[in-house]
Amino acid sequence: MKKTLIGLLALTLMFSCKNAEDKNENAENEKQELNVYTHRHYESDQDLFKQFEEETGIKVNVINASADELIQKMRMEGEQSPADVLITVDAGRLERAKSSDLLQAVSSDILEETIPSHLKDADNYWFGLTKRARVIAYAKDRVDENELSTYEDLASDKWNDKLLIRSSGNIYNQSLMASIIVHNGEEEAKKWAEAVVENMARAPKGNDRDQVKAVVAGEGDLAVVNTYYIGKLLNSEDPEEVKAGESIELFFPNQEGRGTHINVSGAGVAKHAPNKENAVKFIEFLISEEAQKIFAHSNYEYPVNEDVAPATLLQEWGEFKEDTLNLSTLGENNKKAVMLFDEAGWK
C-alpha cells in the first residue's frame, strides 16, 4: 500500500512537472500559441482553426464548453488564465464577460471597418462573427402567411394552442425576450410572455429541430426557431428530417417595424490574454472573406462581413430587415428576461 502511495505521488509529480515544462516552453515560444475558449464546436470551426495554424504558424489550443462554464472558469483563473480568445454563440454572454471584467478593448481597423456597428461592442470588447435570425416556421397548409406579422402578434388569441417554442432556459429565447423588454418595456414583455404561454400547444421541450418536427406532425401550427436549424434540417442525412424541413415555410417577423430579431456568434480578447497579438490576428482572420465563406456555407449562418454572400439556401429565403438594436443590450437584460419568464410560468 505504501509503495502504491509513493508511486501515486511520483506519478502526480511527473504529470505536474511535465505540465510546468510545457508552460516553460510556452513562455519561450510565446508568439507561437493561441488558447481559444469556445462554445462553438462545429467541424467547420475546426477546419478554420487548422487553416489559421497553417497560414500563421500559430498553434491553436481549444477548450470547448458552454459559454457560461467558460466564463465561470475565466473568472476563477483570474490573472493566471491561459485564455486568449473567448468565442460564444450569442451576444448576451459576451456582454456578461465584458461586464465581469474578463475581456479587454481591442483596437483594430480591420475589425472596426468590417463589422457593422450594431454587431459589435461599442467599446470594442467583442465582435460578431456570424449572425442568425429567430424566425417563425409555419405549416404551409394550415397557416396563411398574411396572418403572420410580429413577435408581439404571437400573443394573440388566434394562435391559442397552436404555438411551439422551446424552454426559457434556452439562450435564444432569453435574447428574444431581452429585445422585447428593450423595445416594449418590462410590463408589456411580461404580459406578452404570459399570453404566449397560454398559446403554447404543449409544454416547452426539445430543441429547435424538435419544434419544427412537431409542426409537421400537426401538434401545433407554428414554431419559433433559428434560421440555421432549418438549413440543417434541409441538409440532414436523415430523409425524414429533410421532409420535415420541406414541409414548412419561414416567416421573418416585424418587417414593417423594427426588423427581425437577430443574434451573433462572437469573439472577444481575454483581459489577461498571454498572446494578445495572436488573439487579435485570429479574430481578424475569422472575419476575413475566406473564413466567412466557410462559416456561411457550412453552417447556414449569415456572414457579418458584407462582402461575403450568404449560402445559396439563405439567399433563397430572401433578404430581410434586421433589428439593429445594439446587441449589448441583450446581455444587460438577460437576467430580467429569465425572471420574467419564470413569473409568466414559461418552463
Instruction: Name the residues that contact another protein, by CB under 8 A.
Output: 1-2, 4, 8, 12, 15-16, 19-20, 22-24, 26-27, 35, 41-43, 61-66, 68-69, 72-73, 76-78, 80, 82, 96, 167, 169, 174, 202-210, 213-214, 216-217, 229, 232, 236-238, 240-241, 243-244, 334-335, 338-339, 342-343, 345, 347
Taking alpha carbons only, the member of 125, 87, 90, 93 closest to residue 106 is 125
In sequence order, the β-bridge partners of residue 60 are: 34
CB of 111 to another protein, least distance (A): 25
Comparing CB distances to another protein, the nearer of 26 and 156 is 26
Q: What is the dihedral of CA 208, 166, 293, 260, to 10 degrees?
A: 120
Taking alpha carbons only, the member of 311, 211, 301 closest to residue 263 is 301
Comparing CB distances to another protein, the nearer of 147 and 210 is 210
Comparing CB distances to another protein, the nearer of 83 and 111 is 83
CB of 69 to another protein, least distance (A): 5
For 113-149, give one letter per residue: b (16+ CB within 10 A) or e: ebbeebbbbeebbbbbbbbbbbbbbbbeeebeeeebb
CB of 263 to another protein, least distance (A): 15
**Main-chain phi, psi angles of 104, to 5 degrees:** -130, 155
Comparing CB distances to another protein, the nearer of 21 and 145 is 21
Instruction: Taking the CA atoms of 40, 45, 50 and 53 in sequence, report the sign of the dihedral they define.
Output: negative
Comparing CB distances to another protein, the nearer of 123 and 240 is 240
Tell me how far apart the alpha carbons of residues 222 and 214 are, in angstroms, rounded to a whole number: 9
CB of 153 to another protein, least distance (A): 25
Ranges of beta strands (E only) in the chain are 33-38, 59-64, 85-88, 103-104, 126-139, 163-164, 222-226, 248-251, 262-270, 302-303
Comparing CB distances to another protein, the nearer of 118 and 272 is 272
Comparing CB distances to another protein, the nearer of 63 and 105 is 63
Comparing CB distances to another protein, the nearer of 30 and 306 is 30
Taking alpha carbons only, the member of 108, 139, 133, 118 closest to residue 279 is 108
Written as one letter, the residue type at 230 is I
Contact between 251 and 136 under an 8 Å Cβ cutoff? The reply is: yes
Kindly give the residue spans of alpha helices, DSSP state H, lying in 144-207: 171-184, 186-199
CB of 154 to another protein, least distance (A): 19
Which three cell numbers, joined as nine digits, stand for 317?
Answer: 429565403
Comparing CB distances to another protein, the nearer of 26 and 51 is 26
Q: What is the dihedral of CA 251, 253, 257, 259, to 10 degrees?
A: -90
CB of 179 to another protein, least distance (A): 16
CB of 63 to another protein, least distance (A): 6
CB of 166 to another protein, least distance (A): 8
CB of 83 to another protein, least distance (A): 10
Tell me how far apart the alpha carbons of residues 217 and 245 are, in angstroms, rounded to a whole number: 12
